[in-house]
Chain A
């Protein structure tokens, strides 16, 4: 079974620029999550999708972050404009009918 795919793996941008991350979950997984993990901290949930509907986006900074999951499969997370404090690893995870989350390798974002 293929795992969760994410791209790019690394991204370096200047502050105030925009960036987008892509996630392809495990086939058949209805629930998809985006997390932000700052160095030395645990993953922080940004947004949770159930199919293509948003379940929880309470911790998503909506003035600069947006996410979509078209057709209930792939998802993109966008930051516009980026700030220095957005430097982190962005993790995508998906979940089947069990309670186990399967994580992708993450995208390491550096904002200069």
Chain B
């Protein structure tokens, strides 16, 4: 069956370091993969999209990689700040619909 896995345990890092979040999937051939940020009590906010034929995408301090052989995407936040603390969701576009992972909570410690 199709499965999207994100580390369910919270990730705690020191301010200024690079945070790396992982999204693994099985039994998917996604057309694209997206990363969203979700703050408590709010809806997810779109951050980045990477397509199946792209290896890497960058936006300011954010970087996403997509390895369709490993079936994995890595999401990096460089020079992390306390304001980056949130839950980060990956979402895969399958045949017809987008399916979300469970999210990883990131805590950036000052």
Contact = CB atoms under 8 A, between A and B. Distances in A.
A101 B46 contact: yes
A106 B42 contact: yes
A91 interface: yes
Given A103-B44, A104-B43, 18 more contacts: A41-B102, A42-B4, A42-B101, A43-B44, A43-B89, A43-B100, A45-B98, A48-B97, A91-B43, A93-B43, A99-B32, A99-B34, A101-B46, A103-B43, A105-B43, A106-B42, A106-B43, A108-B41
A99 B49 CA distance: 8
Interface of A: 4, 35, 40-45, 48, 55-56, 91, 93, 99-106, 108
| Size bin of chain B's contact surface | 20 to 34
Contacts of B79: none
Nearest to B49: A99
B96 interface: yes
B45 interface: yes
Given A42-B89, A42-B102, A100 B46 contact: yes
B93 interface: yes
Main secondary structure on A side of the interface with B:
strand
Contacts of A43: 44, 89, 100
B48 to A, nearest CB: 10
Contacts of A44: 100
Contacts of B46: 100-102
A100 B99 CA distance: 13
Contacts of A91: 43-44
Given A42-B103, A45-B99, A99 B44 contact: no
Contacts of A108: 41
Among A43, A55, A56, the one with the most B-chain Cβ atoms within 10 Å of its Cβ is: A43
